[in-house]
């Protein structure tokens, strides 16, 4: 059923499938492989490793005034090109996780790649942190990710900015998406954010999904 006027809803259909596709079913071997992957995935917790905790010593929550999180390859590439392309930042941590699409290492002395979620600290102001998360975080790992990351830093007077992208085809508007000048920027904010927003707000019924929504 459509949730708003004009939405295109594709009904499930098996039309056009040939006999071979219809007969294709999950084999016992496929089920066993899937179960083993699920077991390993649930055993591997999401861990946040900070450079100052390398010796195993505990520390008070990190003082943080601004936390900027770039989620997805495009947002992470934006940080690399326009913000991190200087000597003003230092790597201070990494997230280790495992799922079907992402297998990360436990080391913190790594270079940014598509497989890692890295934290940077502004050298001139250590209370400013960046997170470059280009790895996939599964739906059932998102709460752990949030709990571990924000559990390491103070939350009082903390301003969080999240950068993410989505295809223009997913943008819902009365205009034709073919006439839209892309890329374009929209914003969502909480009621606690009192500063001026740098771009127009995202209109209904558009939503944010996955880790940015969490």
The 10s digit of each residue's pLDDT in 59-78 is: 678 889 999 999 988 998 89
Eight-class DSSP state of 213: H
pLDDT of residue 110: 47
Contact in structure between 63 and 127 (CB atoms under 8 Å): yes
- Quote the tokens at residue 44: 């591997």
Region 115-144: what's the mean pLDDT? 87
pLDDT at 11 (0 to 100): 56
Note the pTM of the prediction, 2 decimals. Answer: 0.71
87 pLDDT above the threshold of 70: yes
Q: How confident is the model at residue 96 (pLDDT cuts 50, 70, 90)?
A: confident
Overall size of the chain counted in residues: 214
Average of pLDDT values for 171-181?
81
CA triple 101-102-104, angle to 5 deg: 165
Would you say residue 29 has pLDDT above 80?
no
What mean pLDDT comes out for the span 23-29? 72
Question: What is d(CA 118, CA 69) in angstroms, rounded to the nearest whole number?
Answer: 10
The pLDDT confidence band at residue 123, using thresholds 50, 70 and 90, is very high
Mean per-residue pLDDT for 196-203?
Answer: 89
Looking up tokens 């219809």 gives 22
Q: How far apart are CA 144 and CA 141, in angstroms?
A: 5
In angstroms, the CA 178 to CA 184 distance is: 13
Is 126 within 8 Å of 65 (Cβ atoms)? Answer: no
Q: How confident is the model at residue 48 (pLDDT cuts 50, 70, 90)?
A: confident
- Give 43 or 127, the one with higher predicted confidence: 127
């Amino acid at each position: 059923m459509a949730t708003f006027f004009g939405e295109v809803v594709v009904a499930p259909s098996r039309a056009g499938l040939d006999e071979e596709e219809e007969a294709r079913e999950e084999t016992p071997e496929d089920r066993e492989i899937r179960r083993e992957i699920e077991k390993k995935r649930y055993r591997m917790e999401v861990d946040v490793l900070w450079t100052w905790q390398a010796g195993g010593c505990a520390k008070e929550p990190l003082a943080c005034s601004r936390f900027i999180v770039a989620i997805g390859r495009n947002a992470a590439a934006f940080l690399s090109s326009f913000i991190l392309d200087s000597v003003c930042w230092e790597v201070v941590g990494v997230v280790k996780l495992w799922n079907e699409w992402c297998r990360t290492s436990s080391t913190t002395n790594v270079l940014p790649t598509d497989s890692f979620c890295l934290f940077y600290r502004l050298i001139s102001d250590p209370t400013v942190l960046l997170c470059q998360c280009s790895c996939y975080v599964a739906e059932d790992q998102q709460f752990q990710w949030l709990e571990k990351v924000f559990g390491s830093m103070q939350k009082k007077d903390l301003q969080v900015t999240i950068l993410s992208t989505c295809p223009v085809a997913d943008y819902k508007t009365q205009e034709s998406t073919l006439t839209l000048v892309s890329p374009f920027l929209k914003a969502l904010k909480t009621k606690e954010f009192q500063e001026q927003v740098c771009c127009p707000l995202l209109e209904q019924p558009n939503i944010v999904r996955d880790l940015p929504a969490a």
